[in-house]
Structure 1
């Protein structure tokens, strides 16, 4: 663990943001460090592989012993932008250890996944009980569907009997869980235009159509007063497992006193099996830079979370049609910069899930439970379609309080140790069921 922690600090200090407009050099540097770390784990073949339209994937493999299965390990080395530095209690790209937690962008999502793989593989000192394949991608946070196309074109490179996706986590620290469902996602940018250029609000306000006002009306129409989605054809789903209590959710999400939650149905239904539409950005004048003008153009970025069985394209079409219908005053509306990804629903499990249950119970001291995840991992559904007989197992060190995608992201180091231990025990158990005497 001391070496793993130092490796995570080094990797998380690299601002590997693979979004447009951010420098490419740090992303490529993170790929190089990831390649170096996989070599240190004793894998005989490690290389960077170009991915069309994206950053390179780091790939590694080791052959399976006679009769043993092969396991694919997945994670990603790119991270979300840090956002407002003033919202961070520590510098986002200067990993800082406080009370057993390592703070910094990417310490949890998903560089903890890379380190979990590396630490677990190091335990075998190059003598792996299973065949090992490792795939670490470089643009999951912005455009993971580009790796999907790569997998579809190179199935033999990726083929495995079990696939570990280390990009989820437990509801609470020390509360082991296996993620059995993921929502799909879609995202788009909407632009509204009303005037050739912005005009003086005193001379023209009250008659000139304001693009920002039109856009706000359109976006707020997506939900009713209770917070449920109004778009036809997007019904609320249901999740059979147990979700968090309302108080647990309020504490984790940081909901302010007196502010109610939105939507209907159980929290598990809302978070893991229903649609969610979120406006994640507005391209309009800032408050500090505001001038007295009626706006000619306004833009927004909208993200949609889709139930595991939902179709991203159909969902996107329904939302775009709805926004066109509610557009006021004959404004000009256009859409672009589309991203889509399918959801995932696991089967009940087989040999791999049984081995994972035993490994997780040894590492955490208690058996895991099934949970859903509201987030999306674009690659997972492609892996499921490409390799329908493979077991896909999702777990990791990103607990619900890890603040992924938010200021003050952190990973708990004890949770990271337990996760890496789980993976090492799983590989031993899955490769040789009698090796651990369990």
Structure 2
């Protein structure tokens, strides 16, 4: 066994040079990852998800780690998607650091909307394009590159956990952690699945909104009837559903449901023109809500209709629709219980049912938010590493999306300090067409993680 000493930590300049020299090979590694269509939500790609896990295991073993492809069990007892756990050689007395990313990816959507084949990575300018190039193939490469840069100088016990089902809500995650707890238990957990503030500007994710999803069924008739013979006294179910949906926001576009909380100020200024460009907002559309723009995305609640079942226009007829169904996504304030938020929305909907329609509200899923410990020594170490690598001050940001498994890490490994960072940016287009990754930011992120690991090895 090696002995932990401060002398094992290489200098910043040495690590920077190592990462820079290895970076072309690491880009090739990312291109190989993109080529595997590991779409966890599609049963037809089950073999690809297995192939992706095996490929990742082999890459970390080639870097000197011992790796395994492991599974947890879903709540119904079926096997979860394959994840990879790889470990470095044990150093007595050294802290253990868990490095998390995921190897599964989102479906491509309409391929005609892509500028190139989503599973053939293409470098254009300073970015590489392809499905999973950023979310979260880049996260895998950050861990791989940092460990390669520290080969022979690593002063911590590193455990790499590359999950295989993050894009479908991590259904077997809790069982995976419980089943393989002895392999995964750590003093520090680094999650590389989040954002930077802008290209060239690093960030620590300090808050994540939670998420609750519910489905609402609206019924006004036992069966469809002629709109001429009965229209007037009877509103169709789609109109009734629309009135319920409209009640969820006030005239300014703020959420009108009582008790969801949130604050309207943010630590950074998000220029509206940058937000509109990143989201592809059409000309003339006015942004909804009040307060700082960043707060509207990070620390205030949001409610959106993510699905609506009604008669398609192609099948329309002069009859009154007897029923309709819609599904809501509720982004909850960091630190708020998502179940309580869902109940508040359900109570609001029940209080706003037009004309006594029959309504059934069905909870679908919950995902807790996250609030970082800003006083944690590891947070300070990460802030130093990011700033040192980029040569620009790191900022604290929130993220409007959810990473519910972070709360599982905190609950099952309460002794661990969790920090969240990443390589995405407003131009990444994760989950959408032409997903891409900034190559300069990827190189900086690799160096930052290597610096963080070196810092942790010598106690900060």
Taking structure 2 as the reference length, what is the TM-score of the superposition?
0.86
Q: Give the 3 Å change call, closer, same or farther, for CA 31–301 of structure 1 in structure 2.
A: farther
Partner of 1:11: 33
Task: Identify if the C-alpha distance between structure 1 residues 295 and 102 changes in structure 2 by more than 3 Å, giving closer, same or farther.
Answer: farther
Is 1:242 the counterpart of 2:268? The answer is yes
Corresponding position: 1:383 with 2:409: yes
Question: Are 1:222 and 2:248 counterparts?
Answer: yes
Match of 2:184 in 1: 158
Q: CA deviation at 1:249?
A: 2.2
| Structure 1 residue 377, shift from structure 2 partner | 0.6
C-alpha deviation, 1:130, in angstroms: 0.8
1:296, 1:24 → 2: CA distance? 39
1:74-127 deviations in Å (ceiling 9; x for gaps)? 112222332233333333333322112122222111221112112222223466
Q: Deviations over 1:3-41 (max 9, x none)?
A: 322222232233333337764333333323222332233
Question: How far did residue 73 of structure 1 move?
Answer: 0.7
Tell me which moved more, 125-134 or 371-380: 125-134
Tell whether the 8 Å contact from 2:37 to 2:45 is kept in structure 1 after alignment: no
Structure 2 CA distance for aligned equivalents of residues 314 and 181 of structure 1:
19
Q: Which residue of 1 aligns with 2:388?
A: 362
Do 2:72 and 2:179's aligned partners in 1 also have CA atoms closer than 8 Å?
no
Q: Tell me the distance in 1 between the aligned counterparts of 2:250 and 2:159.
A: 47
Say if 1:100 and 1:414, in contact at 8 Å, map to a contact too: yes
Instruction: Please report how far the alpha carbon of residue 223 of structure 1 lies from its aligned counterpart in structure 2 after TM superposition.
Output: 0.9
| Pair 1:47-2:69 in alignment | yes
- CA distance in 2 between counterparts of 1:209 and 1:152 reads 52
In the TM superposition, structure 1's runs of 4+ consecutive aligned residues that sit over 6 Å from their partners are: none
Do structure 1's residue 69 and structure 2's residue 95 form an aligned pair?
yes
2:247 corresponds to 1:182: no
Tell whether the 8 Å contact from 2:69 to 2:82 is kept in structure 1 after alignment. no
Rounded Cα–Cα distance in structure 2 between residues aligned with 1:80 and 1:167: 14
- Given the alignment of the two structures, is residue 32 of structure 1 paired with residue 57 of structure 2, yes or no? no
Aligned length: 434
User: Could you say if the C-alpha distance between residues 243 and 181 of structure 1 is closer, same or farther in structure 2, counting changes exceeding 3 Å?
Assistant: farther
Taking only aligned residues, the RMSD between alpha carbons, in angstroms, comes to: 2.6
C-alpha displacement of 1:255: 2.6
User: Equivalent residue of 1:166, what SS?
Assistant: strand
Q: Does 1:169 align with 2:169?
A: no
User: Paired residue for 2:335?
Assistant: 309
Q: What secondary structure, in the 3-state scheme, does the structure 2 residue paired with 1:24 have?
A: helix
After superposition, the Cα gap between the structure-2 partners of 1:146 and 1:297, relative to the gap in structure 1 and judged at 3 Å, is: farther
What residue ranges of structure 1 are gaps of 5+ in the alignment?
Answer: none
Cα distance, 1:408–1:298 mapped onto 2, change above 3 Å: farther
- Taking the TM superposition and a 5 Å limit, the aligned residue runs for 1:18-417 are 18-19=40-41, 23-53=45-75, 54-125=80-151, 128-144=154-170, 146-152=172-178, 154-199=180-225, 201=227, 205-206=231-232, 209-239=235-265, 241-288=267-314, 290-336=316-362, 338-417=364-443
Deviation (angstroms), 1:287: 4.1
Q: Deviations over 1:218-247 (max 9, x none)?
A: 222211121111112123324552241333
Quick check: which has more Rg, 1 or 2? 2
8 Å CA contact 2:49–2:82 kept in 1: the answer is no
Distance 1:306 1:97, change over 3 A: same
Residue deviations 1:245-273 (CA, integer Å, cap 9, x gap): 33332332233333211111112321211
CA contact (8 A) 2:258 2:344 kept: yes
Instruction: Call closer, same or farther: CA 1:425–1:288 in 2, change over 3 Å.
Output: farther
Identify if the C-alpha distance between structure 1 residues 212 and 73 changes in structure 2 by more than 3 Å, giving closer, same or farther: same
**TM-aligned CA distance change 1:232 to 1:357, over 3 Å:** closer
Q: For residues 84 and 188 of structure 1, do their structure 2 counterparts lie closer, same or farther at Cα, with a shift above 3 Å needed?
A: farther
- Rate the CA distance shift 1:226–1:156 in 2: closer, same or farther, 3 A: same
Query: For the Cα contact (< 8 Å) 2:381–2:455, is it kept in 1?
Result: yes
